[in-house]
Amino acid sequence: MLRSITKYWLYGVVVAFMVTSPLAVYCQNTDGMNNVRVKDLADIEGVRSNQLIGYGLVVGLNRTGDRVQQNIYARQTLQNLLERMGISTNAAGLKPENIATVLVTATLPPFARPGSKIDATVSSIGDAKSLQGGTLILTSLKGLDGQVYAVAQGSISIGGISAGNSGNSVEINHPTVGRLPNGANVERAVPTELAANNQLVMVLRNEDFSTAARLNDVINVKFGPGTARALDGRNIEVIVPDSYISNRVRFIAELESLSLRPDKIAKIVINERTGTIVMGSEVKIASVAISQGGVTVKVGTEYDVSQPNPLSPGGQTFVVPNTSIEIKDKKPESVILPDGATVDEVVRGLRSVGVSARDIISILQAIKSAGAMNAELELQ
């Protein structure tokens, strides 16, 4: 029986051990980057900002607000607002589309006084499509203690836009999140006692005993022995000298303007999701030889459709799969690194043989496992 053959291709699984090349970053110290100001290394204990939050209502939207009939708390919020203004209404009859329920957040900076203005962020929590053109109604912003520290009100500025018609829509950025520049007024100050009992504590942002000892020495050289005392690898206790007791702000300003060379551990930060590698110049590698190659396995399936000639009695159609496997083996490349090689030499050596940044991740992990690397690997 003669059969006509119709062929079509369907490629199945492709397994590749070589991937594309993402980003690899390495940093080297230069003479101009050795010394860092104290204000860039440490904070003063107790001098901190505080987070505020509030629940409010945005009005004046162009039919892009919450669907009040389906949003119970939006309907209740609008009813409560009208009742506070002396207007009695039935919540079931409210069907506006120009309001949106929002959460308002702000950061209260240290030493902020009543009357100061701060920025606030407005975020929709309902099903509003956009906050463009809306106005936030007076909203109380509270701290974790439940006290009101600021109030926010004003027109919302958004960095996005949303438009659409007849089922077609265009959206840029996030039109349901906006800001109120200087839109919140501070109503209550957070008590902050600066240098209580003529003492303060400098808190390093990155824990390191060597840096703490250096900061301790720099302060004592500037203001006299016994002024500073390192408590641990992060905290340094500082006593305000007698000559600065009446002017603590000047003392802190001079303290923060001091500079020193911080120490840090050798670390490699790897983000396997994006293929990003960040390495410092402190990373040293012992004498090691690296051989790297790649194998690509490609599995393809060809389906042959076999069918009988027209009007053939008892003919049947069959699908016949034919599978093919193709293997490509890349010739391994070798790199020999001398003892004490720096990250610059490592990257240049690996790049010279065409190793991608994502392959470098696996190589660095293997070098660490072999005990030839003195750096800490941090996977994100």
For residues 340 and 368, state if they share a domain. Answer: yes
Strand partners, 376: 267
pLDDT at 67: 78
Alpha carbon distance 380, 368 (integer Å): 17
Closest CA to 180 of 214, 216, 140, 153: 153
Question: In 3-state terms, what secondary structure has residue 215?
Answer: helix
Looking at the predicted structure, is the pLDDT value of residue 202 above 80?
yes
For residues 25 and 54, state if they share a domain. Answer: no
What DSSP character marks residue 91? G
Total Cβ atoms within 10 A of residue 101 = 23
For residues 247 and 288, state if they share a domain. Answer: no
Indicate the residue among 131, 155, 186 that finishes a domain: 186
**Category of 116 on φ-ψ map: left (φ > 0), alpha (ψ -120 to 50) or beta:** beta
pLDDT at 276: 77
For residues 74 and 180, state if they share a domain. Answer: yes
Average of pLDDT values for 4-26? 37
pLDDT tens-place string over residues 126-184: 888 889 889 999 999 999 999 999 999 999 998 766 565 555 556 666 788 999 999 99
Alpha carbon distance 197, 248 (integer Å): 12
pLDDT at 370: 78
For residues 365 and 280, state if they share a domain. Answer: yes
**Higher pLDDT residue, 205 or 11?**
205
Average of pLDDT values for 110-117? 93
pLDDT at 328: 57
Alpha carbon distance 73, 214 (integer Å): 57
For residues 103 and 182, state if they share a domain. Answer: yes
Q: How many CA atoms lie within 13 A of 279 on its CB side?
A: 25
Indicate the residue among 218, 241, 260 that finishes a domain: 260
> Are the C-beta atoms of residues 126 and 177 closer than 8 Å to each other?
no
For residues 172 and 208, state if they share a domain. Answer: no
pLDDT at 299: 52
Confidence grade of residue 216 (pLDDT, cut at 50, 70, 90)? very high
Total structural domains within the chain:
3
Domain limits at 329?
1-34+265-380
For residues 294 and 378, state if they share a domain. Answer: yes
Alpha carbon distance 249, 194 (integer Å): 9
For residues 276 and 325, state if they share a domain. Answer: yes
pLDDT at 285: 76
pLDDT tens-place string over residues 226-285: 999 999 999 999 999 999 988 889 999 999 999 999 988 888 888 877 777 787 777 777
Weakest mean pLDDT among 107-111, 194-198, 334-338: 334-338
Mean of all residue pLDDT scores within the chain: 78
Instruction: From residue 302, give the alpha-carbon distance in Å to each of 8, 21, 198, 327, 361.
Output: 7, 32, 83, 17, 36
Question: In 3-state terms, what secondary structure has residue 50?
Answer: strand
For residues 203 and 213, state if they share a domain. Answer: yes
Average of pLDDT values for 326-340? 61
> Are the C-beta atoms of residues 141 and 52 closer than 8 Å to each other?
yes
Alpha carbon distance 158, 171 (integer Å): 13
Indicate the residue among 153, 186, 219 that finishes a domain: 186
For residues 170 and 72, state if they share a domain. Answer: yes
